[in-house]
C-alpha cells in the first residue's frame, strides 16, 4: 500500500470534541477542513472473492447491515447503496495510485470493500518493484495484506479516503480487512472455528459499521457506547452494530436532512477542481488531493484503522 509519507501529506486528523458532543469529524491537514461526500447517496461494492471463513451470501449480508446502520435516520437523508460485487481489488483512488499501470489504467473509482487473506510477506517475490519506496503498493498488486505496515498484527481493517484538499469533498473511500490474521464471522448467530484464538475472532458487521462511519467522514468518538468509539470493549463484540445517539448526532451534523453538507472550514476562492489534478509515479500529492487514513478501532490486540 502506498504510504502517506511518500505523497508528502499527513494522516487524517480528528477534530477535538466539544463539551456538548463526543463524536469527531475527520479532517485534512490543510487548516482542518472537514471531509464530506457531495452526493447524499454513496455506492459501494464488495469484492467478489469474499472470505473463506463465511459463505459469500452471509458475508455480503453482514457488510450490507454494517453500512445500513447509517441509513434511514430522520435527521439525515444520507444513504448507502450496495452496488453488488466487483473484481476490483485496488484500495485507493486510481489517479493517485499510478505506480502499477496494470492496476491503475482505466480503473474505475469503485468504493470498495475487500477481504485480504494472504500476507504480502508470503506472496510478494523478493525484489519486486512494488516494494520500492516510489511504488510501495504491493498489497494492491498482489491483493494481499501489508503485514510490513502492520507490525503488531492487531489491525483488523482500515479505511482509506481520498478527498479534495481545499474543500474536503470526498472522491473515493475503500475498506480493506485483514483476513490473513483474523477469522471473520457473524458472531450474533455463530462462533469462530474451534481452535481459533478469541483474540483473532471478529464480527464482520460490528467492524463494518465502524468502518462505514469513517467512510462517511467521522473520526473517533469519546463515548464508550458509540459505534465510533476507538476500542473493542469485549471479546466477540457486536454492540457497534447498532448506532448510539452520539453516532447519529455525528451523521446528522455532517448531512442534515434537506440541507447542504456542513463544512468546518471556508473553501478558498480558487479551489482546485478534481479534473485539473494528476500525479505521476513517486511524485508528491497533486495540490488538489489529500489521502486520509482515519484512525480506527483500537484494542489491546485488535484494532480497525
- Domain boundaries, given as residue ranges, for the chain: 4-294
In the chain, what are the helix, strand and coil shares in percent, each to the nearest 5?
A: 20, 20, 55
Classify residue 146 by burial, with Cβ atoms within 10 Å: 0-12, 13-18, 19+. Answer: buried
- E-assigned strand segments in the chain: 13-14, 26-27, 41-47, 79-86, 112-116, 155-164, 170-178, 183-185, 201-203, 289-292, 303-304
Tens digits of per-residue pLDDT, 152-206? 667 889 999 988 887 899 989 999 999 999 999 999 999 999 999 998 999 999 9
Please state the rounded mean pLDDT for residues 23-27: 92
Residue 87: name the closest of 61, 67, 58, 107 by CA.
Answer: 107
pTM given for the model: 0.80
In which residue are the cell numbers 478501532 written? 297
Residue 21: name the closest of 214, 220, 159 by CA.
Answer: 220
Tens digits of per-residue pLDDT, 43-88? 999 999 999 999 999 999 999 999 999 999 999 999 999 999 999 9
Calculate what percentage of the chain has a pLDDT beyond 90.
56
Residue 302: name the closest of 216, 189, 187, 173 by CA.
Answer: 187
Residue 42: name the closest of 109, 91, 107 by CA.
Answer: 109
Please state the rounded mean pLDDT for residues 22-46: 89
Tens digits of per-residue pLDDT, 109-141? 889 999 999 999 999 999 898 888 877 889 999
In which residue are the cell numbers 478534481 written? 274
Top-tier CATH class for 4-294: alpha beta
Q: How far apart are CA 99 and CA 102, in angstroms?
A: 9
- The span from the first CA to the last CA of the chain, in angstroms, equals 14
Identify which has the larger pLDDT, 61 or 2. 61
Amino acid at each position: 500500500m502506498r504510504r502517506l509519507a511518500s505523497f508528502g501529506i499527513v494522516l487524517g486528523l480528528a477534530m477535538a470534541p466539544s463539551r456538548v458532543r463526543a463524536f469527531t469529524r475527520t479532517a485534512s491537514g490543510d487548516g482542518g477542513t472537514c471531509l464530506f461526500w457531495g452526493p447524499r447517496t454513496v455506492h459501494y461494492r464488495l469484492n467478489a472473492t469474499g472470505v473463506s471463513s463465511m459463505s459469500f451470501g452471509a458475508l455480503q449480508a453482514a457488510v450490507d447491515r454494517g453500512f445500513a446502520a447509517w441509513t434511514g435516520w430522520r435527521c439525515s437523508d444520507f444513504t448507502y447503496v450496495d452496488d453488488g460485487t466487483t473484481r476490483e481489488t485496488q484500495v485507493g483512488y486510481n489517479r493517485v495510485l499510478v505506480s502499477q499501470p496494470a492496476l491503475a489504467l482505466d480503473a474505475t473509482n469503485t468504493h470498495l470493500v475487500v477481504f485480504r487473506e494472504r500476507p504480502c510477506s508470503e506472496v510478494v517475490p523478493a525484489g519486486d518493484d512494488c516494494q520500492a519506496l516510489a511504488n510501495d503498493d504491493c498489497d494492491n498488486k498482489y491483493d494481499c495484506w501489508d503485514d510490513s505496515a502492520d507490525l503488531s498484527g492487531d489491525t483488523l481493517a482500515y479505511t482509506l479516503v481520498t478527498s479534495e484538499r481545499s474543500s474536503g469533498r470526498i472522491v473515493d473511500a475503500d475498506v480493506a480487512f485483514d483476513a490473513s490474521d483474523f477469522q471473520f464471522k457473524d458472531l450474533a448467530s455463530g462462533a469462530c472455528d474451534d481452535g481459533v484464538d478469541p483474540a483473532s475472532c471478529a464480527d464482520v458487521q460490528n467492524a463494518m459499521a465502524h468502518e462505514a462511519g469513517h467512510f462517511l467522514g467521522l473520526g473517533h468518538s469519546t463515548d464508550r457506547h458509540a459505534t465510533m468509539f476507538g476500542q473493542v470493549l469485549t471479546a466477540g463484540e457486536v454492540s457497534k452494530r447498532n448506532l448510539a445517539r452520539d453516532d447519529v448526532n455525528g451523521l446528522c451534523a455532517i448531512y442534515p436532512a434537506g440541507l447542504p453538507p456542513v463544512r468546518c472550514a471556508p473553501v478558498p476562492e480558487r479551489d482546485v477542481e478534481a479534473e485539473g489534478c494528476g500525479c505521476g509515479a513517486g511524485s508528491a500529492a497533486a495540490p488538489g488531493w489529500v489521502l486520509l487514513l482515519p484512525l480506527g478501532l483500537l484494542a489491546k490486540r485488535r484494532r480497525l484503522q
